[in-house]
């Protein structure tokens, strides 16, 4: 009998009661199910849903198309020649004819967005674009552009974090080398304005406002730090020493490699032209400081050269050649792609 009792005592044991308690607790608690079609999921702002294109920012540099591991980006463009401004010469620039991403091939790696130097591509958390026909997953630039309004604001910087380079640069006006800073500002601020969606615009201004209060302090101590971020540092030495050398050899190269290399920088550089007179001043001012502000860095090569236009174009390029040159082997290929018509145009 005692054995039986023990047996019995084991049957309604503690473990069994615990099991019942667990299920009962779950029944009473709210279930975790998300009723998706009725209730939209709350996605984090960096969700990779679809890629949005800000067409105005695209310079047809082809970086995204080249870097795309799936080769799912198709770019067509042609060249337009702008009439010569006073005292200048006519410029050619690229006009985007077609920008398409085939989301049936895309693997959502985001490399195109990372690599875009002109803030033309953005992640949007929008994900409901399934199609019955796989061919409909090829989004042309109109469709890509329509995603822009769904791009959320970038998450705020952490409290106490360094301000973004652009803002740091924009706040430098008080410096002795006025020429540079004056140039730097318009540049940096413009791209910020261009960034899509109300969110993107709203975010930087806040930071700028907050940063503005602190300006006086920073000028002394933080300048150095502002310069240091890894992205900014490596570029300085090149523009200083190399600009004349690099800029000239590139020109011949560029036509060969196609639109990717040269043209985009020109279009980007145009707004800055008015500044050529000021450049010489920079040269005179302490070189080190003049170089440091991240916004101002790329422009240094310009003052050295007599021709204002090309050095400007060289700024963005000066970054690229490092990254691109190894790829130039590949770079020859993109012209063969669907996007290749550019190359034909550009060479012609």
Partner 1 sequence: MAEVLDLVLRLVLILAVFLVLPLIVGQTEHKVMAHMQSRLGPMYAGGFHGWAQLIADGVKFMQKEDVVPAAADRRIFSIAPAVALVPYLVVLAVIPIGPGLVGTDLNVGLFFVLAVMGVGVLGSIMAGWSSGNKFSVLGGMRSAAQLVSYELPLVLAASSVAMAAGTLSLPGIVEAWEWWWLPWQAIGLAVFFIAGLAELRRPPFDMPIAESEIIMGPMTEYTGIRFALFLLAEYAGIVVLSALTTVLFLGGWQGPLLPGPVWTLIKVFALAFVVIWVRVSYPRLREDQLQKLAWLGLVPLALLQLAITGVVKVALA
Task: Assess 130 for contact with partner 1 (CB under 8 A).
Answer: no
Rg (CA), the chain: 27
Which residue lies nearer to partner 1 by CB, 32 or 130? 32
Sole window of 3-11, 74-82, 113-121, 184-192 interacting with partner 1 (rule: CB under 8 A): 3-11
Task: Assess 27 for contact with partner 1 (CB under 8 A).
Answer: yes
Which residue lies nearer to partner 1 by CB, 23 or 284? 23
Task: Assess 26 for contact with partner 1 (CB under 8 A).
Answer: yes
Which 29-48 residues touch partner 1, going by CB under 8 A?
29, 31-33, 35
- Is residue 2 a known part of a binding site? no
Task: Assess 221 for contact with partner 1 (CB under 8 A).
Answer: no
What is the token pair recorded at 87? 């005292």
Task: Assess 2 for contact with partner 1 (CB under 8 A).
Answer: no
Report in angstroms how near the CB of residue 56 gets to partner 1 at its nearest.
45
- Is residue 61 a known part of a binding site? yes
Residue 97's SS3 state is strand
Which residue lies nearer to partner 1 by CB, 23 or 40? 23
Sole window of 12-20, 217-225, 227-235, 241-249 interacting with partner 1 (rule: CB under 8 A): 12-20
Task: Assess 24 for contact with partner 1 (CB under 8 A).
Answer: yes
Cα 275 from Cα 277, distance rounded (Å): 6
Q: Binder to partner 1 among 7, 89, 216, 252 (CB under 8 A)? A: 7
Cα 134 from Cα 267, distance rounded (Å): 36
Cα 58 from Cα 267, distance rounded (Å): 10
Count of residues binding partner 1 (CB under 8 A)? 19
Which residue lies nearer to partner 1 by CB, 20 or 224? 20
Report in angstroms how near the CB of residue 38 gets to partner 1 at its nearest.
9
Task: Assess 13 for contact with partner 1 (CB under 8 A).
Answer: no
Instruction: With beta carbons less than 8 A apart as the criterion, state whether 140 and 249 touch.
Output: no
Sole window of 19-27, 50-58, 213-221, 327-335 interacting with partner 1 (rule: CB under 8 A): 19-27
Q: Binder to partner 1 among 13, 19, 212, 326 (CB under 8 A)? A: 19
- Is residue 58 a known part of a binding site? yes
Report in angstroms how near the CB of residue 33 gets to partner 1 at its nearest.
4
Q: Is the dihedral of CA 312, 316, 319, 324 positive or negative?
A: negative
Helix 178-194, helix 197-227: angle, nearest 10: 150
- Is residue 72 a known part of a binding site? no
Which residue lies nearer to partner 1 by CB, 34 or 202? 34
Helices assigned H by DSSP within the chain:
2-10, 14-28, 63-67, 111-115, 141-146, 165-170, 178-194, 197-227, 237-241, 243-257, 263-269, 279-284, 287-291, 301-304, 309-331, 341-347
Q: How far is CA 171 from CA 108, 115, 156, 217, 276, in A?
A: 36, 26, 19, 12, 21
DSSP string, 1-54: -HHHHHHHHHTT-HHHHHHHHHHHHHHHSPP----TTTS-----TT---EEEE-
Report in angstroms how near the CB of residue 12 gets to partner 1 at its nearest.
8
Taking alpha carbons only, the member of 27, 122, 94 closest to residue 343 is 94
Task: Assess 22 for contact with partner 1 (CB under 8 A).
Answer: yes
Cα 236 from Cα 62, distance rounded (Å): 25
- Is residue 106 a known part of a binding site? yes
Taking alpha carbons only, the member of 265, 269, 296 closest to residue 283 is 296
Binding residues for [4Fe-4S] cluster: 58, 61, 64, 68, 106, 109, 112, 116
Binding residues: 58, 61, 64, 68, 106, 109, 112, 116
What are the residues binding partner 1 (CB under 8 A)? 1, 4, 7-8, 11-12, 16, 19-20, 22-24, 26-27, 29, 31-33, 35
């Amino acid at each position: 009998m005692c054995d039986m009792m023990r047996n019995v005592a084991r049957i309604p044991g503690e473990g069994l009661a615990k099991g019942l308690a667990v299920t009962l607790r779950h029944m009473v608690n709210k279930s975790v199910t998300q009723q998706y079609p009725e209730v939209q999921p709350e996605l984090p702002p960096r969700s990779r849903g679809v890629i949005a294109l800000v067409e105005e920012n695209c310079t047809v540099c082809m970086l995204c198309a080249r870097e795309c591991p799936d080769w799912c980006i198709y770019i067509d463009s042609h060249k337009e020649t702008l009439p010569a401004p006073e005292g200048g010469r006519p410029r050619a620039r690229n006009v985007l004819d077609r920008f398409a991403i085939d989301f049936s091939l895309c693997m959502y790696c985001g490399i195109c967005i990372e690599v875009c130097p002109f803030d033309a591509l953005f992640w949007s958390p929008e994900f409901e674009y399934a199609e019955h026909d796989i061919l409909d997953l090829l989004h042309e630039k109109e469709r890509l552009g329509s995603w822009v309004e769904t791009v959320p604001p970038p998450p705020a910087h952490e409290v106490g974090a360094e301000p973004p380079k652009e803002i740091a640069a924009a706040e430098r006006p008080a410096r002795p080398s006025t020429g540079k800073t004056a140039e730097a500002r318009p540049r940096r601020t413009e791209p910020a304005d261009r960034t899509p969606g109300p969110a993107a615009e709203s975010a930087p201004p806040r930071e700028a406002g907050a940063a503005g209060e602190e300006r006086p302090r920073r000028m002394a101590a933080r300048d150095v730090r502002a310069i240091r971020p890894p992205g900014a540092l490596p570029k300085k030495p090149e523009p200083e020493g190399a600009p004349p050398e690099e800029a000239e050899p590139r020109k011949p190269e560029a036509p060969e490699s196609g639109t990717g290399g040269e043209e985009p920088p020109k279009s980007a550089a145009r707004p800055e032209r008015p500044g050529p007179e000021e450049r010489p001043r920079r040269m005179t001012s302490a070189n080190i400081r003049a170089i440091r502000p991240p916004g101002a860095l790329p422009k240094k090569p310009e003052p050295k050269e007599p021709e204002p236009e090309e050095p400007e174009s060289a700024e963005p390029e000066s970054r690229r050649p490092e990254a691109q040159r190894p790829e130039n082997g590949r770079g020859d290929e993109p012209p063969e792609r669907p996007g290749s018509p550019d190359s034909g145009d550009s060479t012609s």
